[in-house]
Amino acid sequence: MDKFYTTTAIDYVNGAPHIGHAYEKILTDVICRHFSQRTDNAYMLTGTDEHGIKIQKTSAQMNVSPKEFCDMNAQKFIDTWKLLDINYSQFIRTTDEQHTKTVQKIFKKLLEKGDIYKHSYTGLYCSGCEAFLSEKDLDEDGCCPNHKKKPEVVSEENYFFKLTKYKDKIIKHIKENPDFIVPSFRANEVLNQLENIEDISVSRAKTSVNWGISVLGDDSQVIYVWIDALSNYITALGYDTENPSEKFKKYWPADVQVIGKDILKFHSIYWLALLMALDLPLPKHILAHGWITIDETKMSKSLGNVVSPKSVMDSFNMTEPDAFRYYMAATAPCGKDGNYSDDDFKEKVNAHLANSMGNLLNRTLSMLVKYFNGEIKPEFIQENELFNKAKRTIEEVKHHFDYYEVSEASQKIIELVDILNKYVTDNAPWTLAKEEKMTQCGQVLYTVLECMCVIASLIYPYCPNIAKNMAKQLKYDISTKLDDIKLNNIKEGKLISKEEIFPVFLRLDSELATNKK
Q: What is the pLDDT of residue 513?
A: 47
Q: What is the pLDDT of residue 304?
A: 65
Catalytic site residue from 118, 147, 148, 175: 147
* 3-class secondary structure, 203: strand
Residue 248 lies in a domain: no
Q: How far apart are CA 308 and CA 21, in angstroms?
A: 9
Q: How far apart are CA 336 and CA 143, in angstroms?
A: 25
Residue 453 lies in a domain: yes
Cα–Cα distance list, 239 to 103, 106, 249, 370 (Å): 10, 10, 8, 60
Residue 441 lies in a domain: yes
Q: Nearest to residue 424, comparing CAs of 474, 475, 382, 386?
A: 386
Q: In what order do the strands lie in the sheet with 218-223?
A: 203-205, 218-223, 213-215
- Please give the single-letter amino acid code of residue 131: A
Residue 187 lies in a domain: no
Report the domain count for the chain: 1
Q: How far apart are CA 285 and CA 289, in angstroms?
A: 12
Q: Nearest to residue 107, comparing CAs of 239, 249, 278, 271?
A: 278
Please state the three-class secondary structure of 121-179 as a single string: EEEEEECCCCEEECHHHCCCCCCCCCCCCCCEEEEEEEEEECHHHHHHHHHHHHHHCCC
Buried-exposed string 50-89: b where 16+ CB fall within 10 A, e elsewhere: bbbbbbbebbeeeeeebeebbeebbebbbebbebbbbebe
Q: Is 18 a catalytic residue?
A: yes
Question: For residues 265 and 16, is the Cβ–Cβ distance under 8 A?
Answer: no
Q: How far apart are CA 286 and CA 183, in angstroms?
A: 9
* 3-class secondary structure, 475: coil
Q: What is the pLDDT of residue 301?
A: 66
Q: Is 99 a catalytic residue?
A: no
State in Å, rounded, how far the first CA of the chain is from the last one.
41
Cα–Cα distance list, 269 to 145, 246, 266, 404 (Å): 20, 27, 6, 21
Question: For residues 391 and 487, is the Cβ–Cβ distance under 8 A?
Answer: yes
Write the DSSP symbol of residue 357: I
Question: For residues 467 and 478, is the Cβ–Cβ distance under 8 A?
Answer: yes
No. of helices (H) and no. of strands (E), the chain: 21, 19
Question: For residues 293 and 339, is the Cβ–Cβ distance under 8 A?
Answer: yes
Helix (H) or strand (E) holding 273: helix 271-277
Show the domain range for 381: 341-515
Q: Is 31 exposed, middle or buried (0-12, 13-18, 19+ CB in 10 A)?
A: buried
Cα–Cα distance list, 76 to 18, 82, 97, 328, 516 (Å): 11, 10, 21, 20, 25
Cα–Cα distance list, 85 to 302, 309, 323, 514 (Å): 30, 12, 12, 21
Question: For residues 238 and 248, is the Cβ–Cβ distance under 8 A?
Answer: yes
Catalytic site residue from 32, 70, 126, 453: 126
Q: Is 298 a catalytic residue?
A: yes
Catalytic site residue from 32, 144, 334, 463: 144
Q: Nearest to residue 335, comparing CAs of 372, 370, 288?
A: 288
Catalytic site residue from 67, 82, 172, 298: 298
Q: What is the pLDDT of residue 516?
A: 42
Q: How far apart are CA 273 and CA 260, in angstroms?
A: 19
Backbone angles phi, psi at 172, to 5 degrees: -60, -45
Residue 506 lies in a domain: yes
Residue 308 lies in a domain: no
Q: Is 334 a catalytic residue?
A: no
Question: For residues 57 and 128, is the Cβ–Cβ distance under 8 A?
Answer: no
Q: What is the CATH number of the domain that holds 448?
A: 1.10.730.10
Residue 16 lies in a domain: no
Helix (H) or strand (E) holding 204: strand 203-205
Q: What is the pLDDT of residue 341?
A: 92
Residue 6 lies in a domain: no
Q: Is 488 exposed, middle or buried (0-12, 13-18, 19+ CB in 10 A)?
A: exposed
Catalytic site residue from 32, 34, 99, 129: 129
Q: How far apart are CA 459 and CA 448, in angstroms?
A: 16
* 3-class secondary structure, 457: helix
Write the DSSP symbol of residue 41: -
Asked, as a colleague might, if the bond just before 244 is cis with ω within 30 of 0, I would say no
Low-confidence ranges of the chain (pLDDT < 50): 512-517
Q: How far apart are CA 138 and CA 102, in angstroms?
A: 34
Q: What is the pLDDT of residue 300?
A: 66
Q: Nearest to residue 70, comparing CAs of 42, 43, 93?
A: 93
